[in-house]
Amino acid sequence: MKPNAQTCTDQKITFFHAPQSRSGGTLALLEELGADYELRLVNFKQNEQRQPAYRAINPMGKVPAILHGGALITEQPAVFLYLADLYSQARLAPPPGDPLRGPYLRWLVFYGSSFEPAIVDRSQKRAPAPPMASPYGAWEDVLNTINQQLTQSPYLLGERFTAVDVLWGGALHWTTMFELVPETPAIRAYADRVITRPAMQRAAAKDAELFALQAA
Ligand SMILES: N[C@@H](CCC(=O)N[C@@H](CS)C(=O)NCC(=O)O)C(=O)O
């Protein structure tokens, strides 16, 4: 047995994924991490996410969800944090004590608690709640915060590519494509920098293949 074989077995993840959905970000992260995972497909066309079998795994009926050592992890920022820490050897997560740990947590959680609610309001063409009642305040502030950071550095944490960029690069790619986020030169260059990485491309190809398989 190779010295790292046991570690590899301990790190094996069960990943619940629906092709062409938000769980694509987790697929991309697993590829970036070189993770060992078993894929369990959820078929949205057959509404499997709402059936008792899947709800017994994630009562919210949402993907992504992962299982590891008997623990269920859901919610994209939590899934990203968990996986990047578990596969720390890939160095996509600044560890506690690293000066980048705070910004890393900030950008991951900002995604789920501010950006996602803002995007859903935009996609539903819903007026946002008054700034003091809205989880993201004002849409312009969300956009300015992202753009300001991306005009300063190639990645959200500066020169270093991390798991945060897997989440944000992919999301800014699809949200600009659907015209939910206005494309600025900084956002476009950033999304391109991220999505053209070999692991990201590998994940996109795998996802397209899985989508075609489910559609057949
Ligand atoms: N709060 C969850 C939301 C995930 C989510 O919106 N998942 C969508 C995928 S695009 C889903 O599973 N939708 C299926 C459904 O609700 O029927 C997270 O951040 O992970």
Ligand 1 touching residue 167 (CB < 6 A): no
Digit-coded pLDDT (tens) for 85-103: 999 999 999 999 999 999 9
CB 61 within 8 A of CB 49: yes
pLDDT score, position 39: 98
Digit-coded pLDDT (tens) for 124-155: 999 999 999 999 999 999 999 999 999 999 99
Digit-coded pLDDT (tens) for 9-49: 589 999 999 999 999 999 999 999 999 999 999 999 999 99
* Spacing, Cα 2 to ligand 1 middle (Å): 38
CB 58 within 8 A of CB 65: yes
Q: Is the pLDDT of residue 77 over 60?
A: yes
**65-68/13-17 β-pairing:** antiparallel
pLDDT score, position 216: 86
Positive or negative CA dihedral for 120, 126, 131, 132? negative
Which residue from 212, 143, 209 is spatially nearest to 181, judged by alpha carbons?
A: 143
pLDDT score, position 7: 46
Quickly count: other Cβ atoms within 10 Å of residue 10's Cβ: 11
Provide the pLDDT confidence category of residue 211 given band limits of 50, 70 and 90. very high
Residue 67 backbone dihedrals phi, psi, to 5 degrees? -120, 135
Mutate to test the pocket of ligand 1, among 40, 63, 178, 180 (most ligand atoms within 8 A of CB): 63
Q: Is the pLDDT of residue 8 over 60?
A: no
pLDDT score, position 154: 98
CB 165 within 8 A of CB 155: yes
Which residue from 146, 150, 95 is spatially nearest to 118, judged by alpha carbons?
A: 146
Containing 68, the helix (H) or strand (E) segment is strand 65-68
Mean pLDDT of the chain: 95
Positive or negative CA dihedral for 45, 46, 47, 49? negative
Ligand 1 touching residue 36 (CB < 6 A): no
Mutate to test the pocket of ligand 1, among 16, 22, 49, 167 (most ligand atoms within 8 A of CB): 22
Which pTM does this prediction carry? Answer: 0.94
Which residue from 216, 112, 113, 88 is spatially nearest to 163, judged by alpha carbons?
A: 88
Q: Provide CB contacts within 8 A for 122, sequence distance 6+.
A: 139, 180
Q: What percent of the chain is predicted at pLDDT more than 90?
A: 94
Kindly report the protein residue whose alpha carbon is nearest to atom 16 of ligand 1: 62
